[in-house]
Amino acid sequence: MFSLFLQTLSSASGLSSRTITQQELKSNVKGGKKINPAKLLRDIRFVVLDTETTGLRAYKGDEVLSLGAVVIENGRIQKEQTFYQVVNPGRAVPKKITKLTGITEEMVQNKPDLTTVLNDFVSWADHSVLVGHVLNFDLTFINKHLLTHCGTKLRHSYIDTYKMAKCIFPCLRSYSLEDLCAYLSITCAKRHHALNDAISAARLLEIFLAMLEREGLETYKDFESFFHYHQLFSPTLAPLKH
Protein backbone atom coordinates (compact mmCIF):
# COMPACT_ATOMS: atom_id res chain seq x y z
CA MET A 1 0.00 0.00 0.00
CA PHE A 2 1.01 3.63 -0.54
CA SER A 3 1.50 5.15 2.94
CA LEU A 4 2.39 8.51 1.42
CA PHE A 5 0.05 11.13 2.84
CA LEU A 6 1.97 14.37 3.37
CA GLN A 7 5.29 12.57 2.81
CA THR A 8 8.21 14.95 2.31
CA LEU A 9 10.21 14.87 -0.87
CA SER A 10 13.51 14.90 1.01
CA SER A 11 12.92 11.27 1.92
CA ALA A 12 11.78 10.32 -1.58
CA SER A 13 14.01 12.03 -4.10
CA GLY A 14 16.46 14.38 -2.46
CA LEU A 15 15.06 17.91 -2.76
CA SER A 16 17.75 20.54 -3.13
CA SER A 17 18.67 22.06 0.22
CA ARG A 18 19.62 25.38 -1.38
CA THR A 19 17.61 27.97 -3.29
CA ILE A 20 17.70 27.40 -7.04
CA THR A 21 18.25 30.35 -9.36
CA GLN A 22 15.96 31.06 -12.30
CA GLN A 23 18.86 30.54 -14.70
CA GLU A 24 19.57 27.09 -13.27
CA LEU A 25 15.93 26.12 -13.70
CA LYS A 26 15.85 27.52 -17.24
CA SER A 27 18.89 25.45 -18.24
CA ASN A 28 17.37 22.35 -16.68
CA VAL A 29 14.02 22.78 -18.45
CA LYS A 30 15.69 23.37 -21.81
CA GLY A 31 17.31 19.96 -21.52
CA GLY A 32 13.93 18.23 -21.85
CA LYS A 33 12.77 16.74 -25.14
CA LYS A 34 9.87 14.97 -26.82
CA ILE A 35 9.66 11.19 -26.85
CA ASN A 36 10.82 9.27 -29.92
CA PRO A 37 7.61 8.19 -31.74
CA ALA A 38 9.17 4.80 -32.55
CA LYS A 39 9.79 3.97 -28.90
CA LEU A 40 7.88 0.96 -27.59
CA LEU A 41 5.17 1.81 -25.05
CA ARG A 42 6.55 -0.82 -22.65
CA ASP A 43 9.94 0.95 -22.72
CA ILE A 44 8.59 4.41 -21.93
CA ARG A 45 8.93 5.94 -18.48
CA PHE A 46 5.67 7.70 -17.64
CA VAL A 47 5.56 10.29 -14.85
CA VAL A 48 1.99 10.74 -13.63
CA LEU A 49 1.61 14.04 -11.81
CA ASP A 50 -0.92 16.16 -9.96
CA THR A 51 -0.88 19.54 -8.26
CA GLU A 52 -2.88 21.22 -5.53
CA THR A 53 -3.25 24.99 -5.84
CA THR A 54 -4.57 27.98 -3.92
CA GLY A 55 -7.41 28.27 -6.45
CA LEU A 56 -8.39 27.67 -10.05
CA ARG A 57 -7.04 30.83 -11.72
CA ALA A 58 -3.39 30.54 -12.64
CA TYR A 59 -3.30 34.01 -14.21
CA LYS A 60 -5.34 35.69 -11.46
CA GLY A 61 -2.93 35.20 -8.57
CA ASP A 62 -3.38 31.55 -7.64
CA GLU A 63 -0.27 29.42 -7.10
CA VAL A 64 0.85 25.82 -6.70
CA LEU A 65 0.62 24.45 -3.14
CA SER A 66 1.94 20.94 -3.72
CA LEU A 67 3.24 18.72 -6.48
CA GLY A 68 3.05 14.94 -6.47
CA ALA A 69 4.03 12.29 -9.02
CA VAL A 70 4.62 8.57 -9.45
CA VAL A 71 6.42 6.57 -12.16
CA ILE A 72 5.03 3.89 -14.46
CA GLU A 73 7.60 1.66 -16.18
CA ASN A 74 6.99 -1.59 -18.04
CA GLY A 75 3.30 -0.80 -17.77
CA ARG A 76 3.31 -0.94 -13.96
CA ILE A 77 3.35 1.61 -11.15
CA GLN A 78 6.75 1.80 -9.47
CA LYS A 79 5.83 2.31 -5.81
CA GLU A 80 9.37 3.25 -4.82
CA GLN A 81 9.59 6.04 -7.42
CA THR A 82 7.50 8.89 -6.07
CA PHE A 83 7.85 12.65 -5.81
CA TYR A 84 5.95 14.82 -3.34
CA GLN A 85 6.56 18.30 -2.03
CA VAL A 86 4.50 21.00 -0.36
CA VAL A 87 5.36 24.39 -1.90
CA ASN A 88 5.50 27.85 -0.38
CA PRO A 89 3.10 29.73 -2.70
CA GLY A 90 4.28 33.18 -1.64
CA ARG A 91 0.72 34.15 -0.75
CA ALA A 92 -2.00 33.32 1.77
CA VAL A 93 -3.63 29.88 1.71
CA PRO A 94 -7.42 30.35 1.58
CA LYS A 95 -9.32 28.62 4.36
CA LYS A 96 -11.49 26.75 1.85
CA ILE A 97 -8.33 25.32 0.25
CA THR A 98 -7.00 24.25 3.65
CA LYS A 99 -10.31 22.47 4.26
CA LEU A 100 -10.09 20.78 0.85
CA THR A 101 -6.40 19.79 0.83
CA GLY A 102 -5.35 19.78 4.48
CA ILE A 103 -2.51 22.19 3.68
CA THR A 104 -2.32 25.06 6.19
CA GLU A 105 -0.47 28.38 6.34
CA GLU A 106 1.88 26.93 8.93
CA MET A 107 2.74 23.97 6.69
CA VAL A 108 3.96 26.14 3.80
CA GLN A 109 5.96 28.72 5.74
CA ASN A 110 9.29 26.89 5.68
CA LYS A 111 8.78 25.02 2.42
CA PRO A 112 10.76 25.68 -0.80
CA ASP A 113 9.45 27.95 -3.53
CA LEU A 114 8.15 26.59 -6.83
CA THR A 115 11.37 27.38 -8.70
CA THR A 116 13.30 25.06 -6.39
CA VAL A 117 10.65 22.32 -6.50
CA LEU A 118 10.33 22.44 -10.29
CA ASN A 119 14.08 22.25 -10.73
CA ASP A 120 14.15 18.97 -8.83
CA PHE A 121 11.00 17.69 -10.50
CA VAL A 122 12.31 18.39 -14.01
CA SER A 123 15.52 16.49 -13.23
CA TRP A 124 13.55 13.61 -11.70
CA ALA A 125 11.11 13.47 -14.66
CA ASP A 126 13.81 13.66 -17.34
CA HIS A 127 13.34 11.42 -20.41
CA SER A 128 9.73 10.73 -19.40
CA VAL A 129 6.26 11.28 -20.79
CA LEU A 130 4.19 13.46 -18.45
CA VAL A 131 0.71 12.22 -17.60
CA GLY A 132 -2.17 13.70 -15.62
CA HIS A 133 -5.94 13.81 -15.30
CA VAL A 134 -7.08 17.08 -16.88
CA LEU A 135 -3.35 17.68 -17.25
CA ASN A 136 -3.82 21.08 -18.88
CA PHE A 137 -4.81 22.48 -15.46
CA ASP A 138 -1.52 21.40 -13.89
CA LEU A 139 0.59 22.41 -16.88
CA THR A 140 -1.02 25.85 -16.97
CA PHE A 141 0.21 26.57 -13.44
CA ILE A 142 3.63 25.02 -14.00
CA ASN A 143 4.24 26.67 -17.37
CA LYS A 144 2.95 30.04 -16.16
CA HIS A 145 5.66 30.00 -13.50
CA LEU A 146 8.31 28.86 -15.97
CA LEU A 147 7.35 31.44 -18.60
CA THR A 148 7.17 34.24 -16.02
CA HIS A 149 10.47 33.46 -14.33
CA CYS A 150 12.50 31.67 -17.00
CA GLY A 151 10.94 32.55 -20.34
CA THR A 152 10.45 28.87 -21.21
CA LYS A 153 8.08 25.95 -20.52
CA LEU A 154 8.15 22.18 -20.20
CA ARG A 155 9.16 20.38 -23.38
CA HIS A 156 8.07 16.86 -22.49
CA SER A 157 5.61 14.76 -24.45
CA TYR A 158 2.42 14.43 -22.42
CA ILE A 159 -0.78 12.39 -22.09
CA ASP A 160 -4.11 13.28 -20.46
CA THR A 161 -5.96 10.35 -18.86
CA TYR A 162 -9.18 12.39 -19.02
CA LYS A 163 -8.94 12.56 -22.82
CA MET A 164 -7.86 8.92 -22.99
CA ALA A 165 -10.93 7.88 -21.02
CA LYS A 166 -13.26 9.86 -23.29
CA CYS A 167 -11.82 8.04 -26.32
CA ILE A 168 -11.83 4.56 -24.77
CA PHE A 169 -15.23 4.88 -23.04
CA PRO A 170 -17.17 7.37 -25.21
CA CYS A 171 -20.55 6.83 -23.52
CA LEU A 172 -19.83 7.47 -19.84
CA ARG A 173 -21.75 10.22 -18.09
CA SER A 174 -18.77 11.47 -16.10
CA TYR A 175 -15.01 11.42 -16.64
CA SER A 176 -13.95 12.77 -13.26
CA LEU A 177 -11.04 10.98 -11.62
CA GLU A 178 -13.27 9.71 -8.83
CA ASP A 179 -16.01 8.43 -11.13
CA LEU A 180 -13.56 6.72 -13.51
CA CYS A 181 -11.88 4.98 -10.59
CA ALA A 182 -15.28 3.79 -9.37
CA TYR A 183 -16.21 2.57 -12.87
CA LEU A 184 -12.96 0.58 -13.11
CA SER A 185 -13.11 -0.67 -9.49
CA ILE A 186 -10.03 1.30 -8.45
CA THR A 187 -9.86 2.27 -4.78
CA CYS A 188 -8.93 5.96 -4.43
CA ALA A 189 -6.97 7.22 -1.44
CA LYS A 190 -7.91 10.55 0.13
CA ARG A 191 -8.72 12.98 -2.68
CA HIS A 192 -7.21 16.46 -3.20
CA HIS A 193 -3.77 15.31 -2.11
CA ALA A 194 -1.35 15.69 -5.02
CA LEU A 195 0.43 12.35 -4.61
CA ASN A 196 -2.73 10.37 -3.88
CA ASP A 197 -4.45 11.80 -6.97
CA ALA A 198 -1.37 11.14 -9.08
CA ILE A 199 -1.42 7.51 -7.95
CA SER A 200 -5.13 7.22 -8.81
CA ALA A 201 -4.47 8.62 -12.30
CA ALA A 202 -1.53 6.21 -12.64
CA ARG A 203 -3.83 3.29 -11.88
CA LEU A 204 -6.08 4.48 -14.69
CA LEU A 205 -3.09 4.63 -17.03
CA GLU A 206 -2.03 1.10 -16.04
CA ILE A 207 -5.42 -0.20 -17.14
CA PHE A 208 -5.51 1.90 -20.32
CA LEU A 209 -2.03 0.74 -21.38
CA ALA A 210 -2.99 -2.92 -20.87
CA MET A 211 -6.14 -2.40 -22.95
CA LEU A 212 -4.18 -0.74 -25.76
CA GLU A 213 -1.58 -3.51 -25.75
CA ARG A 214 -4.38 -6.03 -26.28
CA GLU A 215 -5.48 -3.93 -29.26
CA GLY A 216 -2.03 -4.36 -30.80
CA LEU A 217 -0.58 -0.90 -30.08
CA GLU A 218 3.17 -1.16 -29.57
CA THR A 219 4.83 2.24 -30.12
CA TYR A 220 4.22 5.81 -29.04
CA LYS A 221 3.35 6.60 -32.67
CA ASP A 222 0.69 3.85 -32.59
CA PHE A 223 -0.63 5.44 -29.41
CA GLU A 224 -0.84 8.94 -30.93
CA SER A 225 -2.49 7.65 -34.12
CA PHE A 226 -5.06 5.67 -32.15
CA PHE A 227 -6.18 8.64 -30.08
CA HIS A 228 -6.13 11.02 -33.02
CA TYR A 229 -8.53 8.66 -34.81
CA HIS A 230 -10.75 8.24 -31.75
CA GLN A 231 -10.96 11.97 -31.11
CA LEU A 232 -12.23 12.43 -34.66
CA PHE A 233 -14.68 9.52 -34.69
CA SER A 234 -15.38 8.48 -31.10
CA PRO A 235 -19.17 9.13 -31.21
CA THR A 236 -19.55 6.15 -33.57
CA LEU A 237 -17.06 3.79 -31.91
CA ALA A 238 -17.78 1.17 -29.29
CA PRO A 239 -15.61 1.28 -26.17
CA LEU A 240 -12.72 -1.13 -25.83
CA LYS A 241 -13.21 -4.11 -23.53
CA HIS A 242 -11.41 -3.90 -20.19
* Catalytic position from the list 192, 193, 228, 242: 192
Question: For 35-58, what is each residue's pLDDT tens digit?
Answer: 899 999 999 999 999 999 999 999
Task: For residue 1, tell me if it sits in a domain.
Answer: no
**Domain with 78 in it:** 9-234
Report how many domains make up the chain.
Answer: 1
Nearest to 215 by CA among 225, 201, 203: 225
Task: For residue 2, tell me if it sits in a domain.
Answer: no
Q: What are φ and ψ of residue 21, in 5° steps? A: -80, 160
Question: For 133-165, what is each residue's pLDDT tens digit?
Answer: 999 999 999 999 999 998 999 989 999 999 999
Task: For residue 222, tell me if it sits in a domain.
Answer: yes
Residue 70 gets the label, from left (phi > 0), alpha (psi -120 to 50) or beta, of beta
Q: Which amino acid is at 76?
A: R
Task: For residue 25, tell me if it sits in a domain.
Answer: yes
Indicate whether 68 pLDDT > 70.
yes
In this structure, the strands spanning 129-132 and 158-160 are: parallel
Q: Which of 4-8, 39-43, 81-85, 230-234 has the lowest mean pLDDT?
A: 4-8
Is 192 annotated in the active site?
yes
Task: Provide the β-strand partners of residue 82.
Answer: 70
Question: For 99-112, what is each residue's pLDDT tens digit?
Answer: 999 999 999 999 99
Report the C-alpha gap between 103 and 194 in whole angstroms. 11
Task: For residue 242, tell me if it sits in a domain.
Answer: no
CATH number of the domain bearing residue 83:
3.30.420.10
Report the C-alpha gap between 150 and 115 in whole angstroms. 9
Task: For residue 219, tell me if it sits in a domain.
Answer: yes
Nearest to 149 by CA among 22, 59, 20, 30: 22
Task: For residue 241, tell me if it sits in a domain.
Answer: no
Q: Tell me the CA distances in angstroms from 142 to 8, 47, 67, 200, one per residue in order.
A: 20, 15, 10, 21
Report whether 212 contacts 223 (CB < 8 A). Answer: yes
Report the C-alpha gap between 107 and 86 in whole angstroms. 8
Nearest to 121 by CA among 199, 191, 28, 44: 28
Task: For residue 67, tell me if it sits in a domain.
Answer: yes
